[in-house]
Amino acid sequence: MSRIQLLSQRLTNQIAAGEVVERPASVVKELLENSLDAGSDRIDIELEQGGVKLIRIRDNGQGIDKDDLPLALSRHATSKIIELEDLERVASLGFRGEALASIASVSRLALISRTPEASEAWKVETEGIDMDSKITPAAHPVGTNVEVRDLFFNTPARRKFLRTEQTEFKRVNDIVKQLALSHFNTTLSLQHNQKQIHKFEKASTLSEQQRRVSQICGPAFIENSVSIDIEQNGMKLWGWVSLPTFSRSQADMQYFYVNGRTIRDKVVTHAIKQAYRDVLFHGRHPAFVLFLELDPADVDVNVHPTKHEVRFRDSRQLHNFLFSVLHKALAAVRPEDHLQETYAENYSPQAVEANSSQSAINFSNYSNQESSDRGRSFANQIENQLASYKTLNDSFENSSELPVLPETDGDIPPLGFAIAQLHGIFILAQNASGLVIVDMHAAHERITYEHMKTASSEEGIKVQPLLVPISIAVSEKEADLAEEHNAYLQKLGMEIERLGPESISLRQVPTILANANVEQLLRDVLSDISDQGTSDRLEAHRDEILSTMACHGSVRANRQLTIPEMNALLRDMEHTERSGQCNHGRPTWVQQNLSELDKLFLRGQ
């Protein structure tokens, strides 16, 4: 070993650059965050060769004073924090004071800046092994211009790890899109190899914000999304989440921001995933653009050099907030939300009720409360709870009369009126937009499932003491968790007793889970509590059982229904949560508009 010595300033900065500057996209992210922190409402980005040859970012922010320019390229120099208290409630995107120094150590960097009070701009560059700063006068409007040329020219080993020009540009493009989504009040333009790629205009109104989201995520996302705007317990969540029917094969359209900062967090990911639990087809991923606002003191952003990861002060409260908001929002989606906006505005439940009583069909003999009452006895009389639609109305047993359709579209309910049954599997219905096709079994399965969940929740958790308690060998950490969260576990229906440093006893379980692998279930619950501060494993397992029961008890294929029975099913779908998907995430109905039907027959061509 050689003698201990101080590293040169350049080498120190290059070591730091290994954490902050991975590729051109990292440089763009750091520089854009500086521009946004400076209050810019217009930022222009120019790239050459994917950003390896040139990155130029110009903004109209507040600029940097001449006397501060030498410090701007120094490590741990920042205007955003002064004391420890500032670090504990960071409100800006950047704050570490490492970015410019790190970038300058692995590139040829020049920075020109002018403040509103200054009569001229000044340019700063670094040179030499000690990165001495050189300042000269320059011509530039108010704001800052940063040029980064020949990235990694002096660290060839780092440059070898860069990908193709197109790949590096794609990653820069992703960063620009991420920041464009979180800063609607800033105009951003992106140019690559002298070609205009994007121009995101300032978006002040909701419609303008939706237009920007459509530019980035596609118009289909906005057309198939639910708007969120909820504030409670000091936290606010707003943005857009996709309907379950608009799912992705991979998690490539998921944008989550905390106080304007894009982040990745396992608590957030788990909460959103659980909100879609029984409405998303297996292996599919939801799409979302969500913004969480909370007190900066309640989130630690100083966890990782790239600032992608954060730590929340109360992860359980956050998880519960995100899950409950999104779960309720998705549950509130009804068939009319899937249809055209103008059609949804015309739909009136009162008009439908009035029309139903005047038409050839009377739905008054079918009651949602009646169905819920049947579901309430599921634990003892499964057969009664799953009573079929066949016995809804004896007066229509021999009726094959079609309904009399209303004269105006405003009197037609979202799913319309049944006109036929196809192969004993599908219900064909006519609504204001055209043809509705319903999967009879899938729809009834969801309706039954929701009634059973409601009934189970209303009855509360029924518990069953174990005749012989189960002794479980666990790690000391798991035993500590079980003991610390014993009151929470009892609310879930599980009674735990600690027997020793690495041993616990399970003395009571929820009745409906008595035949499950409760030992593994308990381990999974403890794992969830360790990671997220909460767990919904027991509820999820209960729902799996109820889902299976609902599936077996729903009307089967080749079951012939009368027109009144089909219409009763349609009306129930319109008032049932998550009725757009069956218990396994498959769609329960689809719409064929008249324009789509016209195209099938080349009408109007």
> pLDDT digit string (tens) for 271-328?
999 999 888 877 899 999 999 999 989 998 877 766 778 889 899 899 999 999 999 9
Angle at 77 between CA 75 and CA 78, to 5 degrees: 135
Check residue 212 and report its DSSP letter: H
pLDDT of residue 408: 61
> What pLDDT does residue 508 have?
92
Cα distances (Å, whole numbers) of residue 193 to 42, 47, 50, 160: 20, 6, 8, 22
More confident residue, 237 or 383: 237
* Beta strands 187-192; 42-48: pairing state: parallel
**What whole-number distance in Å separates Cα of residue 356 and Cα of residue 406?**
9
**CA nearest 94: which of 29, 13, 40?**
29
**Rounded CA separation 201/141 (Å):** 21
Q: Are 202 and 184 in contact (CB under 8 A)?
A: yes
Predicted local distance difference test score (pLDDT) of residue 254:
96
- Amino acid, res. 504: I
Instruction: With beta carbons less than 8 A apart as the criterion, state whether 185 and 192 touch.
Output: no
**385 pLDDT above the threshold of 70:** no
Q: Where are the beta strands (DSSP E) in 445-530?
A: 463-473, 495-500, 503-510
pLDDT above 70 (res 248): yes
Mean pLDDT of the chain: 83
Q: Among the listed ranges 214-223, 281-290, 329-338, 407-416, which one has the minimum average pLDDT value? A: 407-416
What's the sign of the alpha-carbon dihedral 552, 554, 555, 558? Answer: negative
- Taking domain 9-195, whether its CATH number is 3.20.20.140 is answered by no
What number is the average pLDDT over the span 351-376? 34
pLDDT band at 351 (very low <50, low <70, confident <90, very high): very low
Beta bridge partners of 14: none
User: The tokens of 181 are what?
Assistant: 């989504």
- Just give the CATH number of 334-605: 3.30.1540.20
Q: Which fold has domain 206-331?
A: Ribosomal Protein S5; domain 2 (3.30.230)
Separation in Å, CA 50 to CA 46, 56, 125, 157, 181: 10, 12, 23, 18, 22
- For 166, half-sphere exposure in the C-beta direction (CA atoms, 13 angstrom radius) is 0
- Per-residue confidence (pLDDT) for residue 55, from 0 to 100: 98
Containing H/E element for 435? strand 434-439
How do beta strands 288-293 and 254-258 pair? parallel
Per-residue pLDDT at 26? 93
**Amino acid letter, residue 595:** S
Pairing status of strand 463-473 against strand 434-439: unpaired
For residue 554, give the 3-state DSSP assignment. Answer: coil
Q: Cα(189)–Cα(196) distance, rounded to whole angstroms? A: 8
pLDDT of residue 407: 56
The full set of domain ranges for the chain reads 9-195, 206-331, 334-605
In the DSSP assignment, the letter for residue 7 is P
Asked if pLDDT for residue 593 goes beyond 60, the answer is: yes
133, pLDDT greater than 50: yes
| CA–CA dist 311, 601 (Å, integer) | 57
Mean pLDDT score, 182-201: 97
SS3 state of residue 362: coil
| 525: nearest Cα among 539, 511, 543 | 539
CA dist., res. 174 & res. 199, Å (int): 14
- Quick check: 1 pLDDT over 70? no
For tokens 């195209």, name the residue: 599
Q: How far apart are CA 521 and CA 538, in angstroms?
A: 8
For the chain, percent of residues with pLDDT exceeding 70? 85
User: How confident is the model over 101-127, as a mean pLDDT?
Assistant: 91
pLDDT at 555: 76
pLDDT band at 510 (very low <50, low <70, confident <90, very high): confident
The DSSP code for 169 is: H
